[in-house]
A = this chain, B = another copy of it.
Amino acid sequence: MDTVIREKTSARKAQIVETAQQLFREKGYSATSMRDLAKAVGIEPASLYNHISSKEAILQHICFHMAEEFFSAIEDIHLQPGGPQEKLRIAVHRHIGVIVNNLEASNVFFNEWRNLGEEDLQKFRSLRINYEYKFKEILQSGMETGAFKPVDVRIAIFTIFSAMNAIYDLEKPGVPIETDEVASIISTIILNGLNV
C-alpha cells in the first residue's frame, strides 16, 4: 500500500520535472511560470508544491542530475586503452552520447544554469571546471608527447566544448540525432581538420 502511494507520487514528480524541462527549453526558465507548468501537467498550480519545493528546485535537479551524467560518462577515461588521440576521441563520443540521450535536459543545463541561486551557481561552476580539467589533461599530455599541435590549451578546450555542447541544437523534429555519426564527424574535424 505504502509502496503504491509512493510510486504514484514519484511518477507525478517525474512527470513534473519532465514537463518543466520541455517548457524551460521552449520559453526559458524565467519566462516559464508555475501556472504554465501546472497547466501542462494538468493540475492546479498549488498542487505542484506537493511534489517539488520550489521552481528553482526543479532547475537545480535538472542541472545537477546532468552534471552527474557527464561525470560518470568519462569517469574511467584514464583507464581507456590508446594514446591521447584515442582517449580524446572516446571522451568526445561519451560526452556527445550524454547530450543526445538527454536532449531536453541538456538544453536546460547549458542555457539556464545561470538562473540557479548563488550557492548552487558556485557549486555548478566548480563542477564544470573539474570536468573540463579531465579533457585538459588529455590535451596537455598529448602535446607533451607530440601527438597534438602545441596550441593554447584553454582556447582548444574551449573550441572542443563549444562544438560538442551545441549539438542539442542540431535536432530537427522527426530527425533523431545519430550519436555515432555526429561524434565521429566532430572528432574528425577536431583531430584531423577539414583539409584533405
Contact = CB atoms under 8 A, between A and B. Distances in A.
Contacts of A151: 185, 188-189, 194
A146 B190 contact: no
Nearest to A151: B185
A141 to B, nearest CB: 13
Interface string A130-151: 0000000001001000111101
A189 B151 CA distance: 9
Q: Which of A170, A181, A193 has the most CB of B within 10 A?
A: A193
Contacts of A164: 162
Interface in A123-178: 139, 142, 146-149, 151-152, 154-156, 158-159, 161-167, 169-170
Nearest to A182: B155
Nearest to A31: B30
A50 interface: no
A165 B162 contact: yes
Nearest to A177: B155
A74 interface: no
A195 B147 contact: yes
A4 to B, nearest CB: 40
Contacts of A161: 166
Contact of A31 (B115, B139, B165): B115
A100 B162 CA distance: 16
A21 to B, nearest CB: 16
Query: Which 7 A-B pairs rank lowest in CB-CB distance, beginning with the nearest?
Result: A193-B193, A30-B30, A162-B166, A192-B193, A30-B31, A159-B163, A148-B194
Given A156-B189, A156-B194, 8 more contacts: A29-B30, A88-B194, A149-B188, A158-B167, A158-B170, A162-B164, A190-B194, A191-B194
